[in-house]
Amino acid sequence: MDDQEIVERLMAEMTLAEKIGQLNLLAAGEGLVTGAAQHTPLARRLDAGQAGAIFGTKSLESARAMQERALAGSRLGIPLFFAEDVIHGHRTVFPLNIALACSWDLDLIEETAAFAAAEAASEGLHQVFAPMIDVSRDARWGRVAESPGEDPLLSARIAAAATRGFQGAELGAPGKVAACLKHFVAYGAPQSGRDYDNVSLAWEDLLSIYLPPFAAGITEGAGSVMVAFNAVNKMPMHANGALIEGWLRGAAGFDGLVVSDYTGVKELTPHGLGAAPVGVARALHAGVDMDMVGEDYLSHLPTLVRDGLEAPEAGLSLSADQVAGLVDRACRRVLTFKARLGLLADPYRGLSGVPAAPSRRDGRKLARKAAARSAVLLKNDDLLPLSSSAKVALVGPFAADRANMLGTWSVSGRAEDVVPLDSAVEALTGRAPVVAWGADIVDEPWLAQRLNVHGVTVESDPRSETEKLRDARAAARASDVVVACVGEAKEHAGESSSLLAPEIPASQRRLIDALAETGTPLVVVVFAGRPLALGTLSDQADALLYAWHGGIAGPEGVADILFGAAVPAGRLAVSLPAHPGEVPLSYDADPTGRPFPGTFAKFRTGWLDLSDDVKRFPFGFGLGYGKMHYGSPELSMTEAAAGQGVQLRLSVENAGPGEVVETVQLYASDPVARVVRPGRFLIDFKQVRLSAGERREVVFDIFADQFRYPIAPTLEAVEWVRDPGVVRLHVGPNSRDTSSVELTWQT
């Protein structure tokens, strides 16, 4: 019997209650609570066949025990599947996703996902709530930490790479897990950066910025999708049939499982879409197959199937038979997902005879490489790499920190696995650095208090700021070089952690001022979960490394770069603002009608109260230790018909003394189009490794489809078009510093 036959046989035998039970996705109660705590009587649900899946189990043993109980409680022996938030690694915590995105290294991203999958699978997990592929341009939003950054093309490639890494060649392979693309969709564009807030945007932007990563994950065969909390253009995603059944299953051809986010179905009521059963009917009708935690499907579907629903206020009229049909549709999708995971053939699949976890030693090696590849060198006035004989002072709240290095959403990580920066430097150089604390990790007392209420322990230094700054200055003066370790605590970023002003905290800026005054060469390393506005810090520092929260080996990766054991190769996957008031910010902003050649004295394209000289670091920016020369780009032809292959070639040369990993970036612009198009947009990139003095030719294939864009007065009336005429191609080391050529499409 093939999978579909098994599913159909079960469907024919199942009672309505059994079908509804399959739609219930419960929390194991062993992990993180990210919404209103739901006190589910888990054992009772298992005994009654009222659970389809469980997330948040913490060991193979507990998953197996739950499976035994579920099988005993299921008349037809239908197993559960087990899921978990495996966001940037599992026990082996890799750098935050935003950091990994800065590596622009798709093989590395695939490898970290594959490693996480192997660790997760060894604990009986079948599905991970990852990859998180919300394009995000607003540093106020705390979940930038989990995101692939601001660019749709880079995000789409990351979505594909991570999906491949998690799932391997097919769902159900040993040591692999099903991916769950999330959060569908535009969760990364909340108004004012407030988490969970709604999104209003042009359909064109939805189609060309926020949907491409989902399309890429689906093409790669992602087994599941999680729906987002927010509304898009007035329709909450948990009731958004046009996007779920319409775009996702229709246009994008997704045929897997759609799960709600945590109590997302219940949240339709406060969204204003009606109390249950209306909200429940809307979610099921829209295509949300499983209800995470809220149990609204379990509570209300029996009545809905009995009575149907007349809800003129919701524009919804469903007969009892129609609701029954929707329950069947959702249940069939849950069973099909289980069949694809191999669970219907063997209910203990993934729970017995499971491959052992991969070696943690190998994981640490990979995590260290990933950390070094993710850090972005923003400035280097001939200071780095440091000599291992230099007398180094590490100053600031993260100089010897472990817990924050894990970053947000590291639910299975352990702080004791982190080697802090002071130890990493000592291990690498054989010389213990001087360590001095300059500030509290959370220096705003109100924030510390707010986090403490939620059970988060925030470290603080009891000394006065004057005392701490005195120690910091003394440490700097007594050293050859001072490394300021600043940034934000992991609890500053993540879910429900929006900030009004994403910038380096004030007391840490005072610390930098004090260190800069000493005249000791100053390296600033920023550990953060989001792009923090740097203000004047980049002028004060002689060298500046943006290291994010780098996971268990984050500080070791930083030490490798500081002392030249690894070459810096990271490139910003998000623009770094100069001032927090600039966000949302992205390199590909649509052009306006101004500047114009006028005489308006006060005219500015930026802000009246922000100096023109401030430094912001553009998308794609990052330095290495080499000295790169880019040759002029040349096209194989300057006029082409659609369908003709065009190549853009240029030579890149490393004129420096050390190795370079260079990410050559190709952008395009379309100066005349039917609607406003982005000022420029990334169409391709290539990573090349160049040894000292090496020159290479880099070749990009250009094709007409790269210039297609949507015109969408409504979501139902989307037209993808491409126009003949001139386009510009811009190539360079980042989105700003490029050289251009023109290509004319004759057709």
Q: How far is the CB of 141 from ligand NOJ (least distance, A)?
A: 12
AA identity, residue 638: T
CA atoms within 13 A on the CB side of 629: 11
Shorter beta-carbon distance to ligand NOJ: residue 184 or 262: 262
Nearest approach in angstroms of CB 663 to ligand NOJ is 29
Q: Are 331 and 290 in contact (CB under 8 A)?
A: no
Contact residues: ligand NOJ, CB under 6 A: 34, 85, 129, 182, 261-262, 495
User: With the C-alpha atoms ordered 493, 496, 498, 499, is the resulting torsion angle positive or negative?
Assistant: negative
Nearest to 432 by CA among 478, 388, 383: 388
Q: How far apart are CA 55 and CA 470, in angstroms?
A: 49
Q: Rounded to an integer, what distance in angstroms lies between the CA atom of residue 508 and that of residue 522?
A: 14
> Measured at CB, which residue is nearest to ligand NOJ?
129
Name the H helices within 137-253.
152-167, 203-205, 212-219, 241
Q: What angle do CA 647, 651, 657 make, to 5 degrees?
A: 155
What minimum distance in Å lies between the beta carbon of 129 and ligand NOJ?
4
Q: CA-to-CA distance for 562 and 197, rounded, in angstroms?
A: 40
Indicate the pairing of strand 481-487 with strand 522-527: parallel
Give min distance, CB of 182 to ligand NOJ, in A: 6
Minimum CB separation from ligand NOJ for residue 359, in Å? Answer: 28
Residue 726's DSSP bridge partners are 744
- Taking the complex as a whole, the smallest distance from the CB of residue 725 to ligand NOJ amounts, in Å, to 43
CB 214 within 8 A of CB 133: yes
| 3-state SS class at 505 | coil
| In the complex, least distance from residue 25 CB atom to ligand NOJ, rounded to whole angstroms | 9
Q: Which of 85, 151, 261, 296 is catalytic?
A: 261
187/625 with CB nearer ligand NOJ: 187
Q: Which is nearer to ligand NOJ, 31 or 679 (CB)?
A: 31
Q: Is-catalytic flag, 261?
A: yes
Q: Take residue 437 and report the two structure tokens written for it.
A: 């604390």
CB atoms within 10 A of CB 8: 14
How far is the C-alpha of 561 from the C-alpha of 556, rounded, in Å? 9
Phi, psi of 642, deg, nearest 5: -55, 140
What's the CA gap between 104 and 661, in Å, rounded?
A: 11
Nearest distance in Å: CB 495, ligand NOJ: 6
CA pair distance 308, 327, nearest whole angstrom: 12
How far apart (Å, rounded) are the C-alpha atoms in residues 439 and 332? 56
Q: Which lies closer to ligand NOJ via its Cβ, residue 483 or residue 493?
A: 493
- How far apart are alpha carbons 75 and 506 in whole angstroms? 61
Question: What single-letter DSSP state applies at residue 245?
Answer: I
Q: Which letter does DSSP use for residue 145 in this model?
A: G
Q: Which is nearer to ligand NOJ, 496 or 647 (CB)?
A: 496
Which positions are annotated as active-site residues?
A: 261
